[in-house]
Homo-oligomer: A and B are copies of this chain.
Amino acid sequence: MRIDGLQYANWSEKIFRQMREGGVDAVHVTIAYHETFRETVLNFERWNRWFEQYPDLIMKGLWASDVDHARATDRTAIFFGFQNPSPIEDDIGLVEILRTLGARFMQLTYNNQSLLATGCYEDYDAGLTRMGRQVIREMNRVGLVVDMSHSGDRSTIESADHSERPIAITHANPHDWMPALRNKRDDVIRAVTQNGGMLGFSLYPHHLKDKSACTLDSFCEMIAHTAEKFGAEHLGIGSDLCQDQPDSVVEWMRVGRWTKEIDYGEGSAIAPGFPPQPDWFRDNRDFGNIENGLRAVGMNDTEIAGIMGGNWYRFFSENFGPQS
């Protein structure tokens, strides 16, 4: 079973076919960065069209059992998430509405301060806001997973502790392997995993040691090391693949409507676009390389099966239903 904990591609039949070629049974896809509620609904509508148009390749994913159904029918189950809480605007009632429409993950911040928490690019992280605490409780109640991939350390640790259900960092790597602003320090990973949460390893070059030149061996050694520290059962892949996106979309992700100036995120003025993927992970067809790489660094079959999909599957099965 192969499950990818995060992608944001410029979706097309080509990519849907590559997912089948790579044996990707399920993927959590981002459908909002800075979108309002109504704009997010337009993105749900676009996916509804794709489900209607490509019924042999993809299906809507709502529950862990949909991963089984997708596998049995040779398709990829698409699970929805937001990288920012902008879709709920200032209305806590939209948490349940969006979860009913199919949302299964929501980041509390995307780099910047939000109404809920502090993003990882702010100078000072003041932790969860009043609304943030209320929204986490509501997300817990309905079964919408808190994702802190783009949040500050304090906000992430407070969320892991405040949440009554496990939370996730769907796409990031350990900071001590590659000290990128978006990668996570040990105490952050510990706060998330010790409460049953998940860390998905990113393949976005800015998150990789030596970036695009990162070796498969280095990536897999890092995973094995993280497994020793925090337990292999809390780990998965969250590739952060942003395939075929034009630069205008990269700009939307980084800038939205919050500034009139250009913000380069993890890029820079001289390299504003997406860096090239490492040659051993070009796109969805290359998940097998990671599986082989994990074997080569000495991980066992159970650990590998968990990291490639089994752990996300268990996490989906425990966290997408209403709170019991």
Contact = CB atoms under 8 A, between A and B. Distances in A.
Given A37-B38, A38-B37, A38-B38, A45 B100 contact: no
Q: Is the interface of A mostly helix, strand, loop or mixed?
A: helix
A58 to B, nearest CB: 16
Interface string A23-53: 0000000000000011001101110110000
Contacts of A179: none
Contact of A42 (B45, B49, B93): B93
B97 A100 contact: no
A101 B97 contact: yes
A112 to B, nearest CB: 24
Contacts of A96: 45, 48
A244 B44 CA distance: 37
Interface in A30-89: 37-38, 41-42, 44-46, 48-49
Nearest to A102: B100
A97 B102 CA distance: 10
A93 B37 contact: no
A94 interface: yes
Nearest to A100: B101
B97 A44 contact: yes
Interface string A89-119: 0010110110011100000000000000000
Contact of A45 (B44, B45, B91, B102): B91
Interface of A: 37-38, 41-42, 44-46, 48-49, 91, 93-94, 96-97, 100-102
